[in-house]
Structure 1
Amino acid sequence: MFKKNRTLGIILILFMLVTAGSVGFFFHKAQANQVSELNMFKKLFVIVDLVKRSYVEETDIDTLLTGAIDGMLESLDDPYTVYLPPRDFENMQEEFDGKYGGIGIVITMKDKQLTVVSPITETPGERAGLEGGDMIMAIDGVSTKDMPMEEAVGMMKGEPGTEVTLTIKRKVSEEESAKEPKEFDVDIVREEIELSYVNSEMKTDKIGYIRLSQFIDGVGEEIATEIEKLHKEGAEAYILDLRNNPGGLLSEASKVASNFIDKGFVVHVKERQREKTSIPVYSGITATDAPLVILVNGGSASASEIVTGAIQDNERGVIVGEKTFGKGVVQSVIPLSDGSAVKLTTAKYYTPKDRFIHHQGIEPDVEVKYNPDTEADEQLDEAIKILEDKLN
């Protein structure tokens, strides 16, 4: 009887944790929904109790409940909504702190397949030649079929100096579309990944270049600082490189765009059962009106696409490169009291002209394909040419 009460207690605690962020809504609707919802939780309790008492092998209550949570979230068919056990949540926080042992790639689930969004600049993943859109079929010989994304992240992380082998399937080019995708192994030695999110330099006497690798807290202000520095060095036009930038904080996307747009809206956000919220430019940053080119590719996702869409819709600059990734939804991370968290899709976003780019991506104004057979950066070269023409 004690075990049965303990199991019920754990389920009720779990229920309170999961619903903690929406208690007001839940009790507001309790009269209409409580009978059917309580019956469903009763069913869950009965099944857990049956497994605990009668399954052929001994079971662990935490494993059972984690499986129930995972199954509930997987039923949403949304690769961006996941339960993060304490270690996975810690891993995610480490990445936002900017230092961890690993190979330096950003991954997602796309069409139920573990997929590289982008390698991070100057990391083992980039040096190994991984590309946005590469499908990870196995890690150290272990198939990734049905593998949770957080488990895959944990397998790829590790002590600097150790090796991990990824089995990659890469789609062929449009010209080779009749051929089967290529599949091959890539051996990568882990390093300490210490990220520098904003870098800049002068590309010519008059063209400043800024590389933004991820939208973490503070990068909007950092971009403003770099623009001012480059201006003092003679910059009269700018290139903002968002290639292989997987995104990050929505608030920072607004601030980054505000360095180049002086009025209007950056993005519209739509939550369930709410009107669209239009996010204006950030008044704390003074926008430059200098000519601008944005560089993008298939690894430019989420917040990168918010900035790209805002620049394109406001006709503020020229977008050069390849079609972006196509992630038009926003996630909220809700920490739980045991150190775990839920990452939940809570909104869709639309560009200033109301384009919903989820699974569509943003087409560049000037398409320049990446050419792996040359050391030249043809996309960057085109950006410089466009700005030189504007300045002359």
Structure 2
Amino acid sequence: MNGAPQVQRRRGFIMGFGAGAVAALGVAALIAAIAGDFSGSNLTSQASQVIRDEYFKPVKSSVLNDASVNGIIRELRKRYDDRFSHYLNPHQLRQFESLTSGRFSGVGLTVTGVKRGLRVASVLPRTPAQGAGIKEGDLITAVDGRSLAGVPTEVATARIKGPPWTPIELRLVSGSGGATRNIRLKRASVAVPVAVGEIKRAGTSKVAYVSYATFSQGAHGELSSTLERLDRHGAQGLVLDLRGNGGGLLNEAVLSASLFLAKGQLVVSTDSRTMGHRDYDAIGNPLSQHPTVVLINHDTASAAEILASALEDHHLATIVGTRSFGKGTFQEVIHLAAGGALDLTVGQYFTANGISLANKGIKPDVRAVDDPKTPQDEALRRALAVLAEKMAVENR
């Protein structure tokens, strides 16, 4: 066949590698023969078996299994514009589970997953990350020489975790100038403060400023305690800072919103093929109400967007900052009997006004951007100015 080498297959037919119609007929014959041999199997099983039997090098079944599932997930992500579904192989699943086990430590960062790796959303004070000079907006592209490009966010984050005092090397691209550098530091036990508050001034008035970091179990209780403490110190308004808050538990978002909304007011609704439609209402007993500004940025996501949108939709807050992340869907980690798990998108959520935030996020009422090159927090300063104006109008 056009001088191409003849290859004898053990199934009793000859397949050539020449060009044109002859080669096409040869491929068709091979496919037909395979289909006959595996008529009771699905396509993935057929292809995997042929590769194990016929490929010019030995291939482990685990490699084929991972490649098959990864291919399926990639197609789902592409076809349905789903940024959040992932396959976690057994090793990655162990890393992911260690992230929430409490047995490991980190370097003191909150991060957001992007295509090239992890973008730093915030740097916690008195941590190895702060000591190493890592800044908000920096991009982590590799951990210990291993690229994070295309790695699921949960797995990439887990790679930064490890036993206290163990060394780690991060490759960083500066958020301000684009320069790349490698830094070495040691992990440490880091306690992430959930709700940190203080009294600030908005014009001539004392107001509460609360930075709300995550929606972990019990977070709404810490938020409630912080707000009540600042109320006792004479706060007459509130800036609720959700910048860098990547979300967390849905029920904590509902309970947090219930600190502001009246009983029965809609916080969020969800739709899922397996769970149907569900409305989540505020449970009641809101705290004392004050003029409120919610501060957001691109790293405000998921449960944080649910809280911010609930306050906005019920006309309880003015939104200041930059457009939020735009999550709009929720995931479930489903363990597979053969090992590993699917971190699979299983539904969508909608704001109290029935809007999906997927790929859109929350557009702020007042745009405000912090300049990382200055020691001042320009976005917070703008939020306090907006709150002062809001209080002046409401007090007329």
TM range (shorter): 0.7 to 0.9
C-alpha spacing 1:126/1:243, structure 2 compared with 1 (3 Å): farther
Judge conservation of contact 2:112–2:299 (CA < 8 Å) in 1.
no
Are 1:281 and 2:285 matched, yes or no? no
Are 1:187 and 2:183 matched, yes or no? yes
C-alpha spacing 1:101/1:273, structure 2 compared with 1 (3 Å): closer
Q: Identify the residue that residue 166 of structure 1 maps to in structure 2.
A: 171
Shift of 1:221: 2.3
Q: Which one has a bigger Cα radius of gyration?
A: 2
Output the CA distance in 1 between the equivalents of 2:128 and 2:354.
38
Shift of 1:344: 1.0
1:327-366 to structure 2, matched below 5 A, reads 327-336=327-336, 340-366=340-366
Judge conservation of contact 1:312–1:319 (CA < 8 Å) in 2.
yes
Shift of 1:206: 3.0
Q: Return 253-262 or 123-132, whichever deviates more.
A: 123-132
Shift of 1:53: 2.9
Judge conservation of contact 1:117–1:325 (CA < 8 Å) in 2.
no
Q: Identify the residue that residue 266 of structure 1 maps to in structure 2.
A: 267
Q: Return 89-98 or 212-221, whichever deviates more.
A: 89-98
Q: Which amino acid in 2 is paired with 1:279?
A: Y
TM-score, with length taken from structure 1:
0.76
C-alpha spacing 1:183/1:144, structure 2 compared with 1 (3 Å): farther
1:157 to 148, 155, 161: 161
Are 1:210 and 2:210 matched, yes or no? yes
Aligned length: 342
Judge conservation of contact 1:125–1:188 (CA < 8 Å) in 2.
no
1:112-261 to structure 2, matched below 5 A, reads 112-116=115-119, 118-119=121-122, 121-122=124-125, 123-125=127-129, 128-132=133-137, 136-149=140-153, 151-159=155-163, 160=165, 162-168=167-173, 170=175, 182-185=178-181, 187=183, 189-192=185-188, 193-204=190-201, 206-261=206-261
Q: Return 202-211 or 235-244, whichever deviates more.
A: 202-211
Shift of 1:297: 1.0
Q: Which amino acid in 1 is paired with 2:178?
A: K
Shift of 1:246: 0.7
Q: Secondary structure at the match of 1:48?
A: helix
Q: Secondary structure at the match of 1:102?
A: coil
Q: Secondary structure at the match of 2:358?
A: coil
Q: Identify the residue that residue 18 of structure 2 maps to in structure 1.
A: none
Q: Identify the residue that residue 72 of structure 1 maps to in structure 2.
A: 72
Judge conservation of contact 1:324–1:363 (CA < 8 Å) in 2.
yes
Judge conservation of contact 1:101–1:190 (CA < 8 Å) in 2.
no
C-alpha spacing 1:129/1:323, structure 2 compared with 1 (3 Å): farther
Judge conservation of contact 2:142–2:148 (CA < 8 Å) in 1.
yes
Shift of 1:130: 4.1
Output the CA distance in 2 between the equivalents of 1:211 and 1:188.
29
C-alpha spacing 1:226/1:95, structure 2 compared with 1 (3 Å): farther
Q: Identify the residue that residue 113 of structure 2 maps to in structure 1.
A: 108
Output the CA distance in 2 between the equivalents of 1:290 and 1:88.
45
Q: Secondary structure at the match of 2:42?
A: helix
Q: Identify the residue that residue 27 of structure 1 maps to in structure 2.
A: none
C-alpha spacing 1:73/1:139, structure 2 compared with 1 (3 Å): same
Judge conservation of contact 2:312–2:319 (CA < 8 Å) in 1.
yes
Judge conservation of contact 1:332–1:345 (CA < 8 Å) in 2.
yes
Shift of 1:259: 1.1
Structure 1 spans left out of the alignment, 5+ residues: 1-37, 173-180
Using CA pairs below 8 Å that are at least 6 residues apart, which structure has the higher relative contact order? 1
Output the CA distance in 1 between the equivalents of 2:233 and 2:118.
40
C-alpha spacing 1:120/1:262, structure 2 compared with 1 (3 Å): farther
Shift of 1:256: 1.1
Q: Secondary structure at the match of 2:180?
A: strand
Output the CA distance in 1 between the equivalents of 2:200 and 2:41.
62
Output the CA distance in 2 between the equivalents of 1:60 and 1:361.
43
Shift of 1:287: 3.6
Q: Identify the residue that residue 385 of structure 1 maps to in structure 2.
A: 385
Q: Identify the residue that residue 178 of structure 1 maps to in structure 2.
A: none
C-alpha spacing 1:275/1:246, structure 2 compared with 1 (3 Å): same
Output the CA distance in 1 between the equivalents of 2:266 and 2:68.
41
Judge conservation of contact 1:79–1:108 (CA < 8 Å) in 2.
no
TM-score, with length taken from structure 2:
0.75
Shift of 1:382: 2.7
Q: Secondary structure at the match of 1:194?
A: coil
Q: 1:34-90 deviations in whole A, cap 9, x for unaligned?
A: xxxx97953322222223333333332233222222222222113311122344334
Q: 1:148-199 deviations in whole A, cap 9, x for unaligned?
A: 54553354334535242324275x8xxxxxxxx8352252524323322222
Among all aligned residue pairs of Structure 1 and Structure 2, give the percentage whose two residues are the same amino acid: 29
Which structure dedicates a bigger proportion of its chain to helix?
Answer: 1
Are 1:83 and 2:87 matched, yes or no? yes
Q: 1:342-379 deviations in whole A, cap 9, x for unaligned?
A: 21111111211122221212121221111123211222
RMSD (Å) for aligned C-alpha atoms: 3.1
C-alpha spacing 1:219/1:150, structure 2 compared with 1 (3 Å): closer
C-alpha spacing 1:152/1:294, structure 2 compared with 1 (3 Å): same
C-alpha spacing 1:379/1:125, structure 2 compared with 1 (3 Å): same
Q: Return 325-334 or 337-346, whichever deviates more.
A: 337-346
Judge conservation of contact 1:200–1:226 (CA < 8 Å) in 2.
yes
Shift of 1:145: 4.3
C-alpha spacing 1:93/1:239, structure 2 compared with 1 (3 Å): farther
Q: Identify the residue that residue 11 of structure 1 maps to in structure 2.
A: none
C-alpha spacing 1:244/1:117, structure 2 compared with 1 (3 Å): same
Output the CA distance in 2 between the equivalents of 1:326 and 1:79.
11
